[in-house]
Amino acid sequence: MNFVTPDFTPAIPEMVLLALASFILIADTLWSERFKHATYYATQLSLILVGALVLTSFSTETVITFNESFIRDSFGDVLKLFILIVSFGVFLFSREYLTQNDFYKGEFFTLGLFSIIGMLVMVSAYNFITLFVGLEIMSLALYAMIAMQRDSSQATEAAIKYFVLGALATGMLLYGLSMIYGATGTLTLSEIANVIQTGKADGVVLAFGLVFIVIGLGFKLGAVPFHMWVPDVYHGSPTAVTLFIGSAPKIAAFAIAYRLLVDALPGLVVDWQPLLIILSILSMVVGTVIALAQTNFKRLLAYSGIAHIGFLLLGFIAATPEGYSAAMFYVIVYALTSVAAFGMIIVLAKTGFEFDQIADFKGLNQRSPWLALMTLVIMFSMAGIPPFIGFYAKLVVLEEVITSGFVWLAIIGVVTAVAGAFYYLRVVKVMYFDVPTDNEALKPTGGDIAIGISVYSLALLVLGLMPAWLMSITYNSLLG
């Protein structure tokens, strides 16, 4: 057997990002305190550079390389691009938060970059090993990021919870992957699909493997009944980290769900569809109902995020390329909205004041009409009220699930959406109708985050008026 140099070009963005991240890691320890913000700028520049690389190398052609373990396709490119866009926002708001809370450390950004590398690898994984390695790179970096605020017992608790449950989930996933490997004798996604197609694999082992994989994915996505960590981790983590966990990793988790369920196990669709139906209904109902009782804004977003994952799964349940593209649209919209929502908390926070209780939003309209309006946009977008983009995300998944014949599921979905509207409305109510306890005018502490939050929030409106643009990207990336 001869060693053949693999085709490196499909992985250039990941490799460049790795090189830059390593450079920043070292540089950060070297450059003096005076240049501490250089780490931040270098990080953002790296993201822009890698984003540009992804964008310029974009093609509709699918390339598989590294001995069939790495794939570059338009689906992956689109997701990577959005992971980078979302992460850019995350770092933008994080810097402000870190400075305010006096734990501005270069490690935050380097860990973040490594985590992003993990996500990009997950998106491009074409065999179980790559997929797992990507997942671990991402997760380990995230655990460390939560634990960075060492003197906060809350953060430490969140980190341990996330670590233990995350490890459990990874274990489950790994267990499932090994069973599938045992049944099919291969690690490459397309070959697994082929073996299952031929019917030579043992059905029982496959079914067991599938169940474990779905459990692992359920953990990572935060779907009920594997959602327990979500509210505690979101609440306990420093807001900057919550912002990160709540956005980009969801896109990556969506990507591996797609790679596993659709690329590797399309033959088991009749098996995973009912599993996902249960997860989806539970997530929508439990997420919505528990969210109703929350008084903490971060926990509210955590539970509402669980409900959103339920909606996202509807796209998978449809089990058609259109359905997957609808789910993809949903996850991108969700990640963008999430950045805006958690970013808003950071924008509103002051040194020593977290602004994460719903009551903190009291009378925001009087203190800062502009930020109140932006929060209103975010809330209504999350609630799925037109003309904001959140509505179209719900529209497309509902359409696809109806097209696949599950009208009843769509009805459950819309009913939970109505119940869900209540807690978003409550935030709007508090902002617009309640009298502020503190009459002082609120101004964002930095010009960059003020512009950032406006751009992210207004994007929800602008995309909502012209949803065809984003929709055509996700649609074409899956349907050619």
Which listed residue (425, 450, 458, 462) binds other proteins by CB under 8 A?
Answer: 425
Smallest gap, in angstroms, from Cβ of residue 421 to other proteins? 6
Helix, strand, coil percent content, the chain, rounded in steps of 5: 80, 5, 20
Give the torsion through C-alpha atoms of 254, 277, 378, 92, to 10 deg: -20
Q: Interface with other proteins includes 468 (CB under 8 A)?
A: yes
Token reading at 359: 């009551």
Neighbours of 76 (CB within 10 A): 24
Distance CA 450, CA 420 (A): 28
Using alpha carbons, list the distances in angstroms from residue 227 to 279, 334, 386.
10, 17, 28
Strands 70-72 and 63-65: antiparallel
Q: How many residues bind other proteins (CB under 8 A)?
A: 34
* Residue list 333-372, contact with other proteins (CB under 8 A): 365, 369
Q: Interface with other proteins includes 293 (CB under 8 A)?
A: no
Smallest gap, in angstroms, from Cβ of residue 74 to other proteins? 15
Q: Interface with other proteins includes 415 (CB under 8 A)?
A: yes
Token reading at 158: 């969140």
Q: Interface with other proteins includes 455 (CB under 8 A)?
A: no
Looking at beta carbons only, is 262 or 396 nearer to other proteins?
396
Smallest gap, in angstroms, from Cβ of residue 107 to other proteins? 42
Smallest gap, in angstroms, from Cβ of residue 398 to other proteins? 6
Q: Interface with other proteins includes 403 (CB under 8 A)?
A: yes
Smallest gap, in angstroms, from Cβ of residue 453 to other proteins? 17
User: What type of residue sits at position 341?
Assistant: A
Smallest gap, in angstroms, from Cβ of residue 333 to other proteins? 14
Q: Interface with other proteins includes 418 (CB under 8 A)?
A: yes
Distance CA 394, CA 448 (A): 31
- Rg from Cα positions in the chain: 22
Contacts of 146 (CB under 8 A, 6+ apart): 155, 158, 159, 162, 233, 236, 237, 238, 241, 245
Which listed residue (185, 422, 443, 451) binds other proteins by CB under 8 A?
Answer: 422
- Contacting positions for other proteins (CB under 8 A): 365, 369, 376, 380, 385-387, 391-392, 395-396, 398-399, 402-403, 407, 410-411, 414-415, 417-418, 421-422, 425, 428-429, 432-433, 467-468, 471-472, 475
